[in-house]
Structure 1
């Protein structure tokens, strides 16, 4: 089946809002916006950008928001005005934010008041000339907005002091704009989003994702999951940050385009608050990742929820352990469909079909996507052999922003994108990610992949999570070291190593084990092995 990718995100948005106008689109902290309201509010924001600022189509606007109602309004509004959205992590330090604002050449910033202090420290050193500050409940009804914002600011004291030389409040911007948005006619090949990646491995680079890339991936996922995704009937739980491309594509593209509701969770780390937000909600689709599944399954209030409407659980962003998958299915009654993707592929490359799940794999390539594995010399490897995974398809990015050398290194002349992940492909086409190429451990010439060891350790009943890295060793080159978070303070290093020996070859067994209260993670919940090393 051919996918009609020759539309822009804005065209998909406009068609969807017209078709499902009075249905709920986004819900957060007890308030819901319909598709009609998202269309109206995003139009007002777009009109503000067009008529009250000096911004022009193609200019970059950084959006530094968690999962709140303002996120889709601002992002769709910016795209309607012809801007390029720079998705920006609210947890960034001042230096990380300065790099992204400077590298992207962003001329505007929309920021949540709770995290605005970091931006206030550096924005004067960038090209940003428009700063718009929003508070948590700015799109709620007036009295509720005042109550929530006041509690957050004055009682919970979650808004550190900040000061910009010049800024506007989101509420004032929305009130001041009366005129209609002037339609901007983008082309499918225009860049829609600059999505920064590589921050955990080096200097973050901006992946240029075009309208074509994003619409293609939306259609690919919707077709692959056509036996479970329904139109205008599902409620998707959205705990993963929308500024991360995995959540953006699933919630703001796939679920949205089908007229479904997204329940936004602003702070998924607050597990009791998360469980409370789900109480009484007949949710059907849950999008998460390994660490979140583990944390929720340990919460009694979550375990007591009604899961009778659940039709799909999806996992991405990091490897899903067998233990987490089994526990999630026991608690919710729904198996997890693990998928795989990268920022550079908008992001979805593979998904396990709902009724053809093979645990331990990331499933089958989505439509119109080719995959292969290659050796160090670039030669394609036969079925079952491990090598670097390469991807080709309409969702592969245009390139890295202002980094032609890095683009040429990542995408060859035939359009194959080299992922940096080691994988195998079986005879049925299912892909298994063995590990990151750079994370592979070499023990006396034997390859050890951290994912395999972590998965084995996670089977221990007292181990919540584990991370494995290679440590330099004069004799064997590298040794395997495990970092473990345990529920049992009496668990010993010897016991962990003995448990590992039951399922791992001797050279894969950790030579040392360090116990931690928690593991360092990215904002999405992916373990930062680099920091442990």
Structure 2
């Protein structure tokens, strides 16, 4: 399909251009702006491979030429699922050059999630790291887009583009193509994935204009320059890892991105020492693992800043960062829908430890409202509403949902419960939406419940968050099923549906009935209270 979507009201777009937030440049500018001598600087380090800015320009242009040779045109859509390798960025820039609009799925997403995304965007191209055309996921995507438009990533090669092969067996085009771009900067550049609170994650259209502003402003707030070496250890498609300031912010500043296959200390500590990494981004559970692992003689002396986001960080853990890791902490509270908050690098220690930052742009507008829609006083908890030059104006093909989460003035209801601290910083207090934040990975309870209900032995299921000392939250499924039903059986069933492993319930509780509200709905608040009382901070492996 071709994306036909108007993301911003014309008067709002004109206002943001007049203020200089939007410059009319494509997202590929973060790479292409480095010309001349700057093009020789290192852009990506991935295993034993080094990519200069000139290499990223050339190789992404070559991939773009291959896509155009297969008939892809501006406005077409693509479904991408790649691991943390340099090729993720090469494909991303190649698609931007073609004007092809991708959904970048997480490498942990399975057939269930990818099939759902394909239904929404009807892709003309799929790019996967798979075991070959016989791989079940690759086979399904070949049926969706045709084998001539299924590009498979193989083992790393000396020439990065040589690691790709079309599923129909034809070689990749050798033409390097032109490094320009074919997209309208005011149009949709790519789709981000929502955290997912009402079914399969909804698609967030991000334009070149709004996303590039977010990247530029993030790099400015964080003071990045060409000396930065950023560890990309969390999934590369995450908004945090991509743009806060993430890889794109580092590219904009002329620094280098160091790709890590996973965020564990066994992988990351040697990379930090080898490449003299200066910046790293983590979610709270992995920060705790790093803090416990440090002390074995590893050289982390190059680290200047560790950012933490994706979930609320405990002040007790935050206080340990300078002493244990020998660097500064920056808290980041952002969302794929737009608004990003940072503690500043010159904030006082109390602010850095106890708040999740303040909005990065003078164009950001926030409201903290009570259940009746009235502003709460400073320090009181309310629901966060926001709008601004990089906060979107509507999910893709979701008019009914958009009507619920946007007000008449274009403010977006994030579902986050926050309070306002002195100095304008936000303190995150929880969520209003039916969502579980498992170590930074968002799980939609309804999605898992619907799949469980499809099991022949399950008459009903309710999934709620369960507090956990390491992950922040884990998931607990209350299930109505015969006594003989086993958690292992339900897990196998969910995996068989293609559900990502991180979405599998951590605990199953079999119950004869589920509590109801006065209007007959499942009373999840009662279930959450039961979880806190009976299971909080307990070992969550299934029995």
TM-score when scaled to structure 1?
A: 0.76
Contact between 2:187 and 2:208, CA under 8 Å: does it hold in 1? yes
Distance 2:131 2:272 in 1: 24
Residues 168 and 408 (structure 1), Cα distance of their counterparts in 2 relative to 1, 3 Å cut: farther
1:207 deviates by 0.6
What does residue 159 of structure 1 align with? none
Distance 2:537 2:287 in 1: 23
Q: Which residue of 2 aligns with 1:131?
A: 150
The CA distance in 2 between the partners of 1:340 and 1:86, in whole Å, is 23
Name the SS of the counterpart of 1:399 in structure 2: coil
Q: Deviations over 1:426-448 (max 9, x none)?
A: 2421111110113699xxxxxxx
SS in 1 for 2:102: strand
Residue 133 of structure 1 contacts residue 167 of structure 1 at CA under 8 Å; is this kept in 2?
A: no
Following superposition, the deviation at residue 203 of structure 1 comes to 1.9
Q: 1:178-209, CA deviations, whole angstroms, 9 ceiling, x for partnerless residues? A: 25237444232210111122446522211101
Q: Does 1:90 align with 2:107?
A: yes
Please state how far the C-alpha of 1:324 moved relative to its aligned partner: 2.9
- 2:233 matched to which residue of 1? 239
Residue 18 and residue 369 in structure 1: after superposition, are their counterparts in 2 closer, same or farther (change >3 A)? Answer: farther
Instruction: Give the match for residue 533 of structure 2.
Output: 510
Q: Aligned equivalents of 2:122 and 2:407: distance in 1?
A: 27
Give secondary structure in 1 for the equivalent of 2:352: coil
| Structure 2: distance between partners of 1:208 and 1:434 | 27
Deviates more, 1:325-334 or 1:36-45: 325-334
CA contact (8 A) 1:349 1:369 kept: no
SS at match of 1:422: strand
Q: What residue is the counterpart of 1:408 in the other structure? A: 403
Seen in structure 2, the aligned counterparts of structure 1 residues 120 and 465 have a Cα distance that, compared at 3 Å, is closer
After superposing the two structures, state which structure 1 stretch, 80-89 or 108-117, moved more: 108-117
Q: Which runs of structure 2 are paired with 1:484-499 in the superposition (5 Å)?
A: none
Aligned counterparts of 2:382 and 2:71: Cα–Cα separation in 1 = 49
Instruction: Indicate how the Cα distance of structure 1 residues 408 and 177 shifts in structure 2: closer, same or farther if over 3 A, else same.
Output: farther
Assess if the C-alpha contact under 8 Å between 2:219 and 2:252 holds in 1: no
Q: CA deviation at 1:338?
A: 0.8
Question: 5 Å matches for 1:282-293?
Answer: 282-293=276-287
Residue 400 of structure 1 aligns to a residue whose secondary structure is coil
CA RMSD of aligned residues (A): 3.3
**What do the CA deviations read for 1:479-499 (whole angstroms, capped 9, x no partner)?**
65698xxxxxxxxxxxxxxxx
Per the alignment, do residues 510 and 257 of structure 1 end up closer, same or farther by CA in structure 2, a change over 3 Å counting?
A: same
Does residue 196 of structure 1 match 2:193?
A: yes
Deviation at 1:4, TM superposition (A): 4.6
Greater Cα shift, 319-328 or 54-63:
319-328
With over 3 angstroms needed to count, the CA separation of the structure-2 counterparts of 1:130 and 1:435, relative to structure 1, is same
Q: Describe the superposition over 1:88-130 as per-residue Cα deviations: whole angstroms up to 9, x where unpaired.
A: 1222221211111221111101111359734224225534550
Structure 2 Cα separation of the partners of residues 358 and 401 of structure 1:
35
1:6 is aligned to 2:24: yes
Q: CA deviation at 1:398?
A: 4.3
CA shift digits 1:305-325 (9 cap, x unpaired): 223322211111112122332
Tell me if structure 1 keeps the 8 A contact 2:226–2:253: yes
The answer as to whether partners of 1:236 and 1:285 remain within 8 angstroms in 2 is yes
**Aligned equivalent of 1:55, options 72, 75, 91:** 72
Is 2:526 the partner of 1:478?
yes
Runs of 4+ with deviation above 6 angstroms: 468-477
Give 2:208's match in structure 1, choosing from 211, 215, 229. 211
Structure 1 residues 512 and 309: alpha-carbon distance in aligned structure 2, compared to 1, 3 A threshold: closer
Does the Cα contact within 8 Å between 1:479 and 1:511 map onto a contact in 2? no
Q: Structure 2: which 5+ runs fail to align?
A: 1-18, 437-463, 479-513, 518-522
2:70 matches 1:77: no
Match of 1:360 in 2: 354
C-alpha change, 1:282 and 1:82, in structure 2 (3 Å) is same
Q: CA deviation at 1:273?
A: 2.9
Residue pair 2:60, 2:179 contacting (<8 A) in 1 also: no
Q: 1:474 to 1:201 in 2, by over 3 A?
A: closer
Counterpart pick for 1:256 among 226, 229, 251: 251
Unpaired segments ≥5 residues, structure 1: 150-162, 442-449, 459-463, 484-508, 520-531
TM-score (normalised: structure 2):
0.74
* 1:181 counterpart residue number: 178
